[in-house]
Structure formats: C-alpha cells, structure tokens
Structure 1
Amino acid sequence: MQESRLFSFIDEKSAFTLHFLHGGKLIQDIVQVHNIGPMAYEFYRDSILTSMQMLNFMKATENMGFYIDSDEPYFRLKIEMNEKGTMRTLLLPEEFEDFPKTVSGKARVTKAFPNKTPYSSVIQLKDHPAADIVNQALKDSYQVQAKVSVGHADLSVMFSKLPPSKLSEKFEEIIDEPLETFLETHKDLVPEIEKQDFVLKKADESSIIEFFTNKGLTYLGSKEVKFYCPCSKERMAANMATLSENDLKDVFKEKESIEVRCDYCNTIYDINQSELKAQ
C-alpha cells in the first residue's frame, strides 16, 4: 500500500465506530514540503494525524478548515481538507523553542459547502493540553462522544460512540456503555497495532482489514488521504489583483514580474504585471 488510508469499522455489540489512519505516506509528503524543525515536528505530526480523523464526520462536497491560533506559545496552525480526503497544511513558525505541552489562544473549525455561507465554531483555549485540542474540537464543534489517540508510528485511532438515534434505528440489542469504559477496554489497542507487520513493514490493506475484523469489528470502508494543494498561477494572480493600485506599485517597484510563493506547498510562481491587468 503506497498511500495513506483511513479505515472505518464498527463494533455492532457496543455501537462504537473505530477509525484507523495509516498516515505514513501523508506525513512523509508533508515533511518534504515544509522545513519543520525538530522541536515542532512532533506537535505538527500529531496535529495532522488527529485532525484528519475529522474526515469521518464530513458530508459530501464539504470543505473543512481546522485552525489553531495560539498566543502562548505563539504559532499558527492551518489544516484544510475536503471530504474526498485531500488536504493541505502549514505551521508558522516552522520551529519552536520548546515542545508546547499546553496552548492558550483559540481553535477554529470552519465548514463550507458550495454556494452556502461558511459556518465557524470557536473553541477558547486556556493552558489546554496540546495533545487534546482535536478531541476538544470534536466535543464542542461536532458534539460527539469520540476520542483520538496517536501512536509512535505515523498512525491514529479514533473511537466514536454512535448517537442514540442511530442506536435505536440500527441495533436491537446493544451493550450501552460510556466512552470512558470503551476506551479502558481497548486501552492496549494502539500499542498492539504498532507491533503489526502492516506498521513495522510494508503496509498491506488486506492485512489491516483482517486485523480489525478478527477483533469482532465489521469493515465499513476506507479512503485515501493525501496532501494536495489546489493553488495555481491564475489563483495567485487573481489574489494579487485585489490589491490597490498603490500597493501593486510598491510590490513591483518598477519590475515587470515578481516571484510569489504558496505558503501551503512552497510552489513559486512568476507573476507578470500584464497578467494582473487581465484579471
């Protein structure tokens, strides 16, 4: 398996879903694009692996942005994705003086659909554990009982309890247990996953499915998760064309063209003044 994939399963006895992200290729591709320093790497990696589990709650044609605006320590994290599984991201600055154990500031979840006004929810953070921000967003923005855990390998696992309406519709007899009890029962799952050949060696989709179905779970499906930036020279030119005439004069300073870099993928575009006049 050459790509990163997000697998979904269901425990029909307890009405919990389990979602497993094998994210090695995704993290590898992002590291090749962004020059992340060693102190920032673990936080950046874990933030990506946990936030990509939000894909499980996205609807058709939906685009979603997850943002952390941290004041202490200062940094800005942006993760944007669509329901098809493509995402782009950036972290500024790309290095920290120390690994952030807690964060004060705010997190934002923005959901957007074509031809509709975007919806945003804001989560205030005060000395909030850095590793738990996505779980707080799931609770506050999605109002679900869910918990995401990250392994030492490039993987994450999310347990999510189906809402009561879904339980009565789909299951006649279930073991109705709280999230905390279910998590305690499966507390050794992530360490066990990390010992499997599909993590230690070459990933194999059928081996992943077999591992979880052997634990009594029913396979629901999977989707590829990959880094992709939809930027283009035309989009860059269109954005620059919104600047005032005086600002454009300052930008070009009697030059015919300038180089513009996309913050998300570091692609550099050569923008000519004549291209802006055509906008």
Structure 2
Amino acid sequence: MTDYIVRATAADSQIRAFAATTREMTEYARKVHEESPVACAALGRLMTAGAMMGAMMKGDKDLLTLQIRADGPLRGMTVTADAKGNVKGFAGNPQVMLPPNALGKLDVGGAVGHGILNVIKDMGMKEPYVGQVGLQTGEIAEDLTYYFATSEQVASSVGLGVLMNHDNTVRQAGGFIIQLMPFTDEKVIDALEKKLSSVKSVTSMLDAGMTPEDILQELLGEFGVEITEKTETRFACNCSKERMEKALISIGRKDLEEMIKDGEPIEMNCHFCNSHYQFSVEELKKILAQAKKR
C-alpha cells in the first residue's frame, strides 16, 4: 500500500498516536483540481488530518467533515473522511498564488486567512456532533491542536506537511497526531513535550525515507511504542449521476422548468473530484416528473 495510516499506543496506553503518509491522495487532488502549490499544501494537510481523524471513528457509516471558513484568498476548504480510509476534499480557490512567507516556505496561513474550523462528526445519532474553534494560525496543524484541546479536552500534538517538487508535483505528504489520555503521568508529559520540541518536520522525516512506523518510533520510541493497526487511505469520491439527479430534484420544480424551457443540456460538476455529469433536456423532463410525484 502506498498511502496508509498506522495507529499506535505508548507508555502503557497513556499515549495514543496516529501517523500517515498521503503523497498519492495529495497528488491526485492536485491533478483533479489543478491546484497551485500553496493550495495543494493547504488541502493536503487538511486531507491528511481528515484521514487520521476518520481512523479514530468506530462505525462503518460514521462520517467526519473538516470545514474551514476563512477570509483568505484560498476561500476555505472542505474535507470529508470515513473510518475506512476514504478521503476527499476541495478548496474554494485552488489556483490561488502567493509569494513565500517570511521563512521562505509556502504561505499556507496567508492563503487560509482568519476564520473558523468546523469539525462535524455524523455518527448516526439524531444530530451530528459539531465542534467549532477560531483559526489560530491557518497553518492547519496548530489549529487542530487547538481544536482537540478546547473542543474535545484532549491534549494533543498535530504535525502535518506537504513538500513539493520543483515541477510542482507532490514529493512528500503526511502527518501525525499524538494524544495524551487523562490519566497520563506528569513525567511522561514532560518527557514527551521535550521530545516533540526537538523533532524535525514531518516532510523532512518522510523525505529521509522514514515510514509512518519510523516516525512514531522516532517520536515515541522511548515510551515503548506499539503499532496496533495499519490501514490504507486514499482519495475516494462517491459521487454519481444518480446522486446528481437527487440534487436536481431537490432544487425544485420551478428551476427545473426554467432549465427545460432553455432547451439546452446542463452540466453539473462534483466539487470534490471535479467529475462532470451532463443531463439532456429529455433527462431533465424525467427528473421534473419525479419531482412532481413528491
């Protein structure tokens, strides 16, 4: 498997951790959305986080949505993920171009801007769980660290990264999430904080040939890390012409009648995977007939 997530525990289950390599899904998104490097880095980070947070969910039908609404030129992002490693996402303005930041890196924070992060978990209850926090930096990892601490009251460290080649293809992408259980010993917390403060970036570790298992060994080896699960992850969209038909039915008869009156076929696009679906006037008439039965 190329893209995958590992789950682990350490320090006698006082620590739980996830690490992922996501180059393939990040490159796939770059291609289908024709993303600029900074948009690719931003969405790649959010999709990597979504993949690992999706792996935290238990139910086969559980669905996670990460939504950033902000004032930056990227115009926000949406990512959805499930417990089986399926992830998809899009940015509002995937072609955004910005000069490098003060450190000479891709200015993800500048592209994202100021705003909010919504974390929506649909676990089959009457209402989905919704957590909302203000963006701290727009760099994604710090924002999710803040989200876990404030909305879920879980002390966490999140690392995310996307490294681009000179030809603007994706060289490396991945991340980790390390979380402390409520009963974690103070000595373990102090030792972990010291370790994390000296760690290299995720992309530098991946670019040195390290696997997700190696990364967790590097970060948690002294605490007796134990890999408990390995799961494939991928960019996967479940859009279809049938789903688009349902969307057309939901827009109402009046709009459908207007489309039919125009006498031209229409095209609908999926935000997530950029697939195009065409509907002829005859198909629109059938959809209108279905709408009238409702």
Tell me the TM-score range normalised by the shorter chain. 0.7 to 0.9
1:170-181 alignment, distance < 5 Å:
176-178=187-189, 181=191
The answer to whether the aligner puts 1:138 opposite 2:157 as a matched pair is no
Report Cα offsets for 1:146-168 as digits up to 9, x if no partner.
Answer: 1111244312122111222xx6x
- 1:58 corresponds to which residue? 57
What 5-or-longer segments of structure 2 have no aligned partner? 99-106, 164-171
Letter in 2 for 1:247: D
Seen in structure 2, the aligned counterparts of structure 1 residues 69 and 206 have a Cα distance that, compared at 3 Å, is closer
CA contact (8 A) 1:9 1:17 kept: yes
Higher strand share goes to which structure?
1
Partner secondary structure for residue 134 of structure 2: strand
- 1:194 corresponds to which residue? 206
- Displacement after TM superposition at 1:224 (Å): 1.2
- Displacement after TM superposition at 1:96 (Å): 2.4
Give, in whole Å, the separation in 2 of the partners of 1:193 and 1:74. 28
Seen in structure 2, the aligned counterparts of structure 1 residues 258 and 65 have a Cα distance that, compared at 3 Å, is same
Which of residues 97, 100, 109 is equivalent to 1:101? 109
- Displacement after TM superposition at 1:13 (Å): 5.0
- 1:154 corresponds to which residue? 173
Seen in structure 2, the aligned counterparts of structure 1 residues 228 and 246 have a Cα distance that, compared at 3 Å, is same
Report Cα offsets for 1:158-211 as digits up to 9, x if no partner.
Answer: 2111222xx6xxxxxx66433x64132143365673355355xxxxx9888988
Give the TM-score normalised by structure 1: 0.81
- Displacement after TM superposition at 1:244 (Å): 2.6
Query: What percent identity do the matched residue pairs reach?
Result: 18
CA contact (8 A) 1:213 1:219 kept: no
CA contact (8 A) 1:65 1:81 kept: yes
Partner secondary structure for residue 67 of structure 2: strand
Give the TM-score normalised by structure 2: 0.77
Seen in structure 2, the aligned counterparts of structure 1 residues 245 and 206 have a Cα distance that, compared at 3 Å, is closer
Report Cα offsets for 1:16-51 as digits up to 9, x if no partner.
Answer: 223110111221222222111233222222222234
CA contact (8 A) 1:86 1:225 kept: yes
Give, in whole Å, the separation in 1 of the partners of 2:232 and 2:39. 26
- Displacement after TM superposition at 1:14 (Å): 7.6
What 5-or-longer segments of structure 1 have no aligned partner? 168-173, 200-204
CA contact (8 A) 1:70 1:104 kept: yes
The answer to whether the aligner puts 1:258 opposite 2:256 as a matched pair is no
- Displacement after TM superposition at 1:89 (Å): 0.6
Identify the range of structure 1 (30-39 vs 50-59) with the bigger mean alpha-carbon deviation.
Answer: 50-59
Runs of 4+ more than 4 Å apart = 189-192, 205-215
- 2:102 corresponds to which residue? none
CA contact (8 A) 1:73 1:100 kept: no
Identify the range of structure 1 (109-118 vs 20-29) with the bigger mean alpha-carbon deviation.
Answer: 109-118
- Displacement after TM superposition at 1:256 (Å): 5.9
Which of residues 226, 237, 242 is equivalent to 1:229? 237
Letter in 2 for 1:81: A
Letter in 2 for 1:139: A
Letter in 1 for 2:240: S
Seen in structure 2, the aligned counterparts of structure 1 residues 262 and 275 have a Cα distance that, compared at 3 Å, is farther
Seen in structure 2, the aligned counterparts of structure 1 residues 9 and 136 have a Cα distance that, compared at 3 Å, is same
Letter in 2 for 1:193: M
